[in-house]
Amino acid sequence: MTKYTVDDRGYYGNFGGAFIPEMLYPNVEELRQNYLSIMSEPGFQAEFQRLLRDYVGRPTPLFLAERLSEKYQTQVYLKREDLNHTGAHKVNNTLGQILLAERLGKRKIVAETGAGQHGVATATMCALKGLECIVYMGEVDIERQAPNVARMKMLGAEVRAAKSGSRTLKDATNEAMRHWINNPVDTHYIIGSVVGPHPYPDMVARFQSVISGEIRRQLAEQTGSETPDYVIACVGGGSNAAGVFYHFLEDEQVKIIAAEAAGLGVQSGKSAATTFLGKPGILHGSKSLLMQTADGQVVEPHSVSAGLDYPGIGPLHAHLWETGRAKFMAITDEEAMQAGFALARLEGIIPAIESSHALAALEYLQAGPSEKVVIGLSGRGDKDLATYMKWMEI
Ligand SMILES: *Cc1c(COP(=O)(O)O)cnc(C)c1O
Residues 215-229 pLDDT 10s: 999 999 999 999 999
In the chain, % of residues over pLDDT 70: 99
CATH of domain 13-51+90-204: 3.40.50.1100
Q: Is the CB of residue 231 less than 8 Å from the CB of residue 256?
A: yes
* Spatial distance between the Cα atoms of 291 and 307, rounded to a whole number of angstroms: 16
- Tell me the pTM: 0.97
* Spatial distance between the Cα atoms of 152 and 146, rounded to a whole number of angstroms: 10
Q: Could you tell which of 78, 83, 85, 90 is best to mutate to test the pocket of ligand 1, judged by most ligand atoms within 8 Å of the CB?
A: 90
201-250 confidence digits (pLDDT tens): 999 999 999 999 999 999 999 999 999 999 999 999 999 999 999 999 99
Tell me, using a 6 A CB cutoff, whether residue 90 lines ligand 1.
yes
- Kindly give the distance from the C-alpha atom of residue 238 to the centroid of ligand 1, in angstroms, as a whole number: 7
378 is catalytic: yes
Asked whether this chain's domains 13-51+90-204 and 57-87+208-393 adopt the same fold, the reply is yes
- Kindly give the distance from the C-alpha atom of residue 66 to the centroid of ligand 1, in angstroms, as a whole number: 25
DSSP state of 145: T
* Spatial distance between the Cα atoms of 147 and 114, rounded to a whole number of angstroms: 13
Nearest ligand 1 atom to the CA of 82 is 13
Geometric angle at alpha carbon 356, from 197 and 381, rounded to 5°: 90
286 is catalytic: no
Q: Could you tell which of 234, 235, 274, 331 is best to mutate to test the pocket of ligand 1, judged by most ligand atoms within 8 Å of the CB?
A: 234
The pLDDT of residue 1 is above 80: no
Annotated domain spans of the chain: 13-51+90-204, 57-87+208-393
Q: Which residues, in sequence order, are CB contacts of 157 under 8 Å at separation 6+?
A: 119, 122, 123, 126, 133, 134, 135
Q: Which of 69, 79, 106, 112 is catalytic?
A: 112
* Spatial distance between the Cα atoms of 95 and 129, rounded to a whole number of angstroms: 10
Nearest ligand 1 atom to the CA of 117 is 15
**57-87+208-393: which CATH topology?**
Rossmann fold (3.40.50)
Nearest ligand 1 atom to the CA of 238 is 8
153-166 confidence digits (pLDDT tens): 999 999 999 999 88
305 is catalytic: no
Q: Could you tell which of 86, 92, 117 is best to mutate to test the pocket of ligand 1, judged by most ligand atoms within 8 Å of the CB?
A: 117
The CA-atom distances, in angstroms, between 22 and each of 8, 87, 149, 179, 298 are: 20, 37, 32, 14, 22
Dihedral angle at the C-alpha atoms of 297, 272, 13, 95, nearest 10 degrees?
Answer: 110
Of 21-25, 62-66, 137-141, which one has max mean pLDDT?
62-66
The average confidence (pLDDT) of the chain is 96
* Spatial distance between the Cα atoms of 189 and 126, rounded to a whole number of angstroms: 12
